[in-house]
């Protein structure tokens, strides 16, 4: 007899016992499972402050999901999308993605919060439900406004990069003004849009603005004149930021040009603001655009200088200027020009290659010191202004004090001293 035939009755007995026991246990489990399900359903339908438990849970899940998706979005943009876009040859794509990254994550979070608020039965008296959803509309509008601002900044950065690649052929000066003007326009349009979202009648507002526009224009005529003056400056481009200019009596380096004024840093380190309407109507002398800066001066030597030393002085001064590296060699004039009242004048005219303020005066100082040293070596003295006063008949003028002394001397010789006792 085989072992399989011996074990078969035992196995069948065990199976029957186990099946019967499992049937009893499963019945008990079904009964207990139904009880737990009923209890859970009743608990989920319980109400606290007019809100059922399941609504609290679903709202919490919506908010949690919004935060999680925002974190995932920020991580994907910062570590995946943006690094890949920066490797491309085109700059506009990675700038657009950088502008989109943060507002997109906030948009996902606002969607999660909106879903959570939609689940909750907010009261209508007072109208909390309407107030909350108006706030959500404004939040979505502000997030979109943030995106537009970042897109404007992205556009300005893109134009700056183009200007840098073109060696400043595209003037960078109007870019800050374009940035501010675009943002102001976006603010105005967004303000009107938000008012419309809140249910206000925009047509009445626009009509009121049209009626009061003339009054506002009169009140702001100086501001508008400065604004259009700045536009004329950018279109005509008489100077750029960093140029050395002279506008009326103000001379200095242009530091900034905005809606209202042009700021100039003078040679004495003061900051002067000139209204743009004045700049647009003034004569502008742009000293930075000089190909060369002219130096014209007169060196006067004393009349004791003889002809040979005068010729040597003129020749040495010309040689000093020609040997300086900062001078335009083709336009140098050094001549014994005139017999002045108190000096023999040598006219010196030359042009410096460096037109910047500090560089120009550094070259002048270097040349002037070299001329002083050379004239001292030649024994030529630099004349100083002198005046000679000739008095006619100076010998007939008598000094009363001198006459008194003379009379006293004569009296002593004649009869001795006149004593007081």
Scored b (16 or more CB within 10 A) or e, 63-94 reads bebbeeebeebbeebeeebeeebeeeeebeeb
270 in any annotated domain: yes
Residue 182 lies inside a defined structural domain of this protein: yes
Cα separations (Å) of 336 from 277, 307, 308, 314, 367? 48, 11, 12, 7, 18
CA atoms within 13 A on the CB side of 354: 12
Amino acid 168: pLDDT: 47
Per the model's pLDDT, the better-predicted residue between 128 and 147 turns out to be: 147
pLDDT at 354: 81
How far is Cα 139 from Cα 106, in angstroms, rounded to an integer?
Answer: 10
Please check whether residues 68 and 181 belong to one and the same domain.
Answer: yes
Q: For 237-241, 312-316, 318-322, 414-418, which range has the lowest pLDDT when averaged over its residues?
A: 414-418
Q: What mean pLDDT is predicted for residues 343-367?
A: 89
Last residue of a domain, one of 262, 289, 316: 289
Look up residue 251 and give its two tokens: 């001379």
Residue 300: predicted pLDDT = 93
pLDDT at 372: 94
Residue 315: give the domain boundaries: 293-378
Per residue in 104-120, pLDDT (tens digit) is: 989 999 888 888 888 77
Residue ending a domain, choose from 274, 289, 304: 289
Q: In b/e form, how buried is each residue of 287-297, taking b as 16+ CB within 10 angstroms?
A: bbeeebbebee
Assess whether 62 and 183 both reside in one domain: yes
On whether both 146 and 80 belong to a single domain, the answer is: yes
Structure tokens belonging to residue 143:
């997030």
Residue 203 lies in a domain: no
Residue finishing a domain among 145, 163, 198: 198
Residue 27 resides in a domain: no
Residue 3, in any domain of the structure: no
Report for 114-128, 363-377, 402-416: range of highest mean pLDDT: 363-377
Residue 204 lies in a domain: no
194 with 65, same domain: the answer is yes
Co-location of 160 and 275 in the same domain: no
- Domain CATH number, residue 339: 3.30.70.100
pLDDT over 80 (residue 398): no
Instruction: Write down the pLDDT at residue 323.
Output: 92
pLDDT at 420 over 70: no
Domains identified in the chain, total number: 3
**Residue 302 pLDDT:** 92
In this model, does residue 14 exceed pLDDT 50? no
Instruction: Note whether 278 and 354 are same-domain residues.
Output: no
Q: Are 183 and 270 contained in the same domain? A: no
Give mean pLDDT, residues 2-27: 44
Q: CATH number for the domain including 284?
A: 2.30.30.60
What pLDDT score does 172 carry?
Answer: 57
Q: How far apart are the C-alpha atoms of 343 and 382, rounded to whole Å?
A: 8
Q: Report how far apart, in Å, the C-alpha atoms of 416 and of each of 236, 406, 412, 420, 421 are.
A: 97, 14, 4, 13, 14
Mean predicted confidence (pLDDT) in 258-272: 86
> Do 267 and 346 fall within a single domain?
no
Q: Residue 39: is its pLDDT beyond 90?
A: no
Let me know if residue 373 belongs to a domain: yes
Q: Find the helix or strand (DSSP H, E) in which 211 lies.
A: helix 202-219
Same domain, 374 and 275: no
Considering the domain boundaries, does residue 318 fall inside one? Answer: yes
Q: What is the mean pLDDT of the chain?
A: 76
Query: Do 132 and 235 fall into the same domain?
Result: no
Residues 83 and 176 in one domain: yes
- Whether the predicted model's global pTM rises above the 0.85 cut: no
Residue 342 pLDDT > 50, yes or no? yes
Q: Are residues 82 and 141 in the same domain?
A: yes
């Amino acid at each position: 007899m085989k072992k399989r035939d011996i074990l078969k009755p035992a196995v069948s007995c065990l199976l029957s016992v186990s099946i019967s026991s499992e049937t009893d246990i499963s019945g008990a489990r079904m009964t207990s499972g139904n009880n737990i399900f009923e209890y859970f359903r009743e608990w989920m339908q319980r109400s606290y402050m007019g809100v059922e438990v399941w609504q609290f849970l679903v709202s919490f899940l919506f908010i949690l999901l919004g935060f999680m998706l925002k974190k995932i979005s920020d991580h994907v943009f910062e570590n995946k999308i943006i690094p890949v876009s920066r490797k491309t040859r085109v700059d506009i794509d990675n700038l657009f993605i950088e502008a989109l990254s943060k507002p997109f994550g906030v948009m996902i979070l606002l969607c999660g919060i909106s879903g959570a608020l939609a689940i909750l039965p907010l009261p209508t008296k007072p109208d909390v439900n309407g107030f909350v959803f108006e706030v959500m509309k404004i939040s979505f509008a502000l997030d979109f406004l943030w995106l537009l601002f970042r897109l404007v900044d992205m556009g300005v950065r893109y134009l700056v990069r183009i200007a840098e690649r073109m060696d400043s052929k595209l003037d960078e000066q109007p870019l800050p003004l374009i940035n501010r003007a675009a943002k102001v326009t976006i603010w105005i349009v967004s303000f009107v849009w938000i008012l419309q979202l809140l249910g206000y009648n925009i047509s009445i507002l626009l009509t009121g603005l049209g009626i009061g526009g003339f009054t506002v224009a009169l009140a702001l005529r100086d501001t508008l004149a400065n604004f259009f003056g700045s536009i004329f400056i950018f279109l005509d481009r008489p100077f750029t930021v960093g140029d050395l200019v002279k506008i009326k009596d103000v001379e200095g380096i242009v530091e900034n040009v905005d809606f209202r004024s042009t700021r100039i840093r003078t040679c004495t380190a003061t900051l002067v603001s000139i209204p743009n309407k004045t700049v647009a109507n003034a004569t502008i002398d742009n000293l930075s655009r000089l190909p060369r800066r002219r130096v014209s001066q007169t060196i006067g030597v004393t009349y004791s200088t003889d002809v040979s030393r005068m010729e040597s002085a003129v020749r040495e001064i010309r040689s000093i200027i020609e040997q300086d590296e900062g001078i335009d060699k083709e336009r140098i004039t050094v001549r014994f020009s005139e017999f002045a009242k108190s000096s023999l004048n040598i006219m010196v005219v030359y042009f410096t290659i460096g037109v910047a303020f500090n560089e120009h005066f550094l070259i002048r100082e270097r040349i002037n010191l070299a001329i002083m040293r050379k004239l001292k070596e030649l024994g030529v003295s630099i004349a100083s202004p002198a005046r000679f006063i000739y008095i006619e008949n100076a010998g007939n003028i008598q000094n009363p004090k001198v006459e008194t002394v003379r009379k006293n001397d004569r009296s002593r010789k004649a009869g001795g001293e006149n004593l007081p006792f």
